[in-house]
Structures are given as C-alpha cells and as structure tokens.
C-alpha cells in the first residue's frame, strides 16, 4: 500500500492555505464541477482545459497536486505525466479516468502517481487523495518531516527493509546492497521498492534525510 499519512484538521487547514490543486480535464462541465467542489471545501484551485495549457502556464514551484484526466485529445494524461517527469516537475498526480484498466493504473503508479480514480468520481475519495498528495508535495518542498513523523515512517519498515534503507541512505546501488546483505539482486530491488513506498519518498537522499530527522525524535 502507498504511504497514507493520518492528517488532522489542522494539517488540512494548513494544506489548503499553502498548496494549489490543479485540475486538468478537457470536459468543461466536469472541470467546473470539480473546481466548485474544491473551492467550497476551501482549496485553492487552478483549472486547465488541456495538458498543454497546464504545462505552459502552471507554476510547478507552488506545492500541491494535479488532478489529471487520462484521456484527452492531443496530449493524454499519461503522456503529460511522462513530460512532467522529463521536466523534473514533481507534483503528485491524482488520475481520473472513465476507461481505467489494471495495466494503465500500475504504469501510472510506478511513474509516481498518487492515485488512480475511476469515473463517476467518489467525492470523498477524491478529497482524501488530494489531501494526501498535497501533504506529500508540501513535505517535499519543506524538506524532511518533523522528527516524530520521520520516526513513525521508519518504524513501518521490517528489519530487513531497515537494513536496506540504511544502505540506500549511504547512496549504495542495488547491486552493492545485494552484495552487502548477501541476497539476490532481484530481492534487493524488491526491498528498495518497498522502502520507498512505505516511507513515502522517491529518492535515496530523502531516506537519508528521514534517518537524520528521526534522530531528533524523543523516545
């Protein structure tokens, strides 16, 4: 399961003040309905009728997330995700689709998507996914999480995953991790994927930052 932080009302209020939700969908009626829903809930919203407009006009330095339709003319949602990755835009994506399938969802999640939601949309699930995605984005922009949160994340790892995480924090490659722990390369790769998923990070330097932050946590 992906990392799902437990957010308090104060957390949500902070996210609504400091993040921006981008809606990217060529369906104007749905786009307007989603914008109305989010604004009523207190979120800051920007909407775009195409992925091209979003990529051209958005300010990716502002933390938040992208609610992105999969099937759009010209540049699809999945193609937009690839373009974002190529450009180094790390905003979490909540995909919307009326034509989802397992392979599409798996591909999107492996490329860093925060969630994959089928239409008709469950508003409560969408709001929850947006909150978690915005939290991840704000945490990334602010640096490592508070010490107690860093420690809590690390405690979700198994003993073997903790060993792998410590080696990854030293910038060791998968093959070096496998050699140090005397395990198969494929096993090391599987543990690495589990570590990144459980800790809610995407890079090994973020693992090192979590260990550093956790040292300051009270017992």
Q: Which residues pair with 87 in a beta bridge?
A: none
Q: What helix, strand, coil percent values describe the chain, rounded to 5?
A: 55, 10, 35
What are 82-91's pLDDT values in tens digits?
899 888 888 9
- Tell me what pLDDT residue 8 has: 82
Please name each of the domains of the chain with its CATH number. Answer: 9-142 (3.40.50.2300), 147-214 (1.10.10.10)
What are 104-119's pLDDT values in tens digits?
666 666 656 888 898 8
What are 126-156's pLDDT values in tens digits?
999 999 999 888 877 766 666 777 888 899 9
- Tell me what pLDDT residue 133 has: 92
The pTM for the full model equals 0.64
**Which residue from 68, 206, 70, 54 is spatially nearest to 139, judged by alpha carbons?**
206
């Amino acid at each position: 399961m992906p990392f799902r932080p437990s957010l308090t009302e104060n957390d949500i209020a902070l996210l609504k003040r400091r993040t921006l939700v981008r809606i990217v969908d060529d369906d104007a009626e749905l786009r307007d309905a989603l914008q109305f829903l989010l604004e009523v809930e207190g979120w800051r919203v920007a909407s775009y009728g195409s992925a091209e407009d979003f990529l051209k006009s958005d300010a990716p330095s502002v933390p938040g997330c992208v609610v992105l339709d999969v099937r759009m003319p010209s540049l699809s949602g999945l193609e937009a995700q690839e373009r974002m990755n190529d450009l180094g835009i790390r905003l979490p994506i909540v995909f919307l689709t009326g034509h989802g399938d397992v392979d599409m969802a798996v591909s999107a999640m492996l490329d860093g998507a925060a969630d994959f939601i089928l239409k008709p949309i469950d508003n409560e699930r969408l709001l929850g996914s947006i909150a978690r995605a915005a939290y991840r984005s704000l945490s990334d922009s602010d640096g490592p999480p508070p010490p107690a949160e860093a420690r809590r994340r690390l405690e979700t790892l198994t003993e073997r995953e903790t060993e792998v995480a410590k080696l990854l924090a030293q910038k060791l490659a998968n093959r070096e991790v496998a050699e140090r722990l005397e395990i198969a390369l494929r096993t090391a790769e599987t543990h690495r994927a589990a570590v990144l998923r459980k800790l809610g990070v995407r890079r090994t330097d973020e693992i090192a930052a979590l260990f550093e932050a956790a040292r300051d946590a009270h017992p």
